[in-house]
Amino acid sequence: MVLIYDSNNLRQSSESSQVIQSFHQDVNQAITAALQADGHEVLALEADSQLEERLCEIQPDFVFNCSIKSRGDVNRSFAPAVLRKLGIPFTGSRGSACTNAYSKERTKHILMEAGIRTPFALVIRKPYGFRLPDAFSFPLFVKPVKGGCSFGISRQSLITDQASLDKWLPQIYEQVKGPLILEEFLEGREFTAGVLGNLAAQVLPIMEFKYPNGDEVHFRSYSLKMVRYEDEEIQCPAELSSDKQAEIRKLVLQTFRAIGCRDYARVDVRMDRAGKPYVLEVNALPNLMPKTSSYAIMALKTGLTFREMIRSILRTAVARYAGA
């Protein structure tokens, strides 16, 4: 068994880079330990330029893939493409789905074409001298087109007026070194829901992120998610009516299939003031940190320990290749 992981190639601040690198190392070690506890011999490989050569040497029977990023100018997820080329079976989504989910711009296009509700948005590639189209109204929200761990999202991401837009848009752009998405900010409740399976995919218990009225930020910022994670309040299962639960579950499964996800994924949802849910983004290979990651917590609520969750993901992928 091989575990493939992404190296941290952030070009931004070294402090953020170190935090995210350490976080991913902890996740990789936890997955490796869970696989080893089930009797698998595990070798961890970085999704770098030597990946294809190493895989040809090792010739693994199966791969637990945790890599979603592209390499160089090729706009597709690198590791899944290599695995598919070599005919090596692996857990998780194909390269196309990983790429679609990693790019919030692609996600938006796919969701809109599928008729799935998602906040109205546009992509900004030149923030200087930007003029807001008449179709938009405040409050708005700005985030990187690509990336994970909520990097680039802070209290400045919530744009309440033209002065804030003029001030913060260029600064956020310089921080993340890439295009941004500007979208309408939904002022309702925020949730996430994990999916496990394929043809008979199940939605795990829905989790709600709680933001006390006194908080300045009512969304998941990088600081809250990666630095002050012990301060983050969650409720799982979320308190929802049966009708609203069914609505969110349907939306999540529609999104899972529209993006082309396989085996497992996580979909982030937020409501507007009227309580109507919209899809914010998709994590084709969500973080699997034991005890603290949203996916692991939701799985635990179904009775799956971390080891059992990893086993379930692996068995789901194996069954898919077997045609079961």
Residue 11 is predicted with a pLDDT of: 46
69 and 151, same domain (yes or no) = no
pTM for the full predicted model: 0.91
> Hey, what are 34's tokens?
């869970």
- Asked if the structure places residue 134 within a domain, the reply is yes
| Residue predicted with more confidence, 178 or 86 | 86
220 and 175, same domain (yes or no) = no
135 and 235, same domain (yes or no) = no
194 and 317, same domain (yes or no) = yes
168 and 277, same domain (yes or no) = no
Q: How far is CA 65 from CA 11, 21, 40, 86, 208, in A?
A: 24, 17, 15, 14, 27
d(CA 6, CA 275): 37
Q: Which residue, of 147, 162, 184, is where some domain finishes? A: 184
Give, for 270, the enclosing helix (H) or strand (E): strand 264-271
Write the pLDDT tens digit of every residue in 117-134: 999 999 999 888 888 999
> Hey, what are 43's tokens?
């070798």
272: domain CATH number is 3.30.470.20
254 and 284, same domain (yes or no) = yes
Q: Residue type for 156, please?
A: Q
208 and 280, same domain (yes or no) = yes
170 and 199, same domain (yes or no) = no
Locus of tokens 């919209």 = 278
253 and 130, same domain (yes or no) = no
| Residue predicted with more confidence, 216 or 116 | 116
- Asked if the structure places residue 114 within a domain, the reply is no
Residue 106 has pLDDT above 80, yes or no: yes
Residue 235 is predicted with a pLDDT of: 95
Can you give the residue range of the structural domain that contains 23?
2-99
Count of domains for the chain: 3
157: domain CATH number is 3.30.1490
Q: How far is CA 46 from CA 28, 55, 67, 90, 170, in A?
A: 11, 11, 8, 15, 33
21: domain CATH number is 3.40.50.20
Residue 230 is predicted with a pLDDT of: 60
Residue 229 is predicted with a pLDDT of: 55
Give, for 161, the enclosing helix (H) or strand (E): none
d(CA 82, CA 255): 26
85 and 39, same domain (yes or no) = yes
287 and 219, same domain (yes or no) = yes
- Asked if the structure places residue 112 within a domain, the reply is no
Write the pLDDT tens digit of every residue in 74-83: 567 899 999 9
Residue 12 is predicted with a pLDDT of: 47
Residue 12: partners with Cβ closer than 8 Å, 6 or more residues away: 151, 175, 176, 177
- Asked if the structure places residue 106 within a domain, the reply is no
Q: Which residue, of 140, 156, 184, is where some domain finishes? A: 184
172 and 195, same domain (yes or no) = no
- Asked if the structure places residue 166 within a domain, the reply is yes
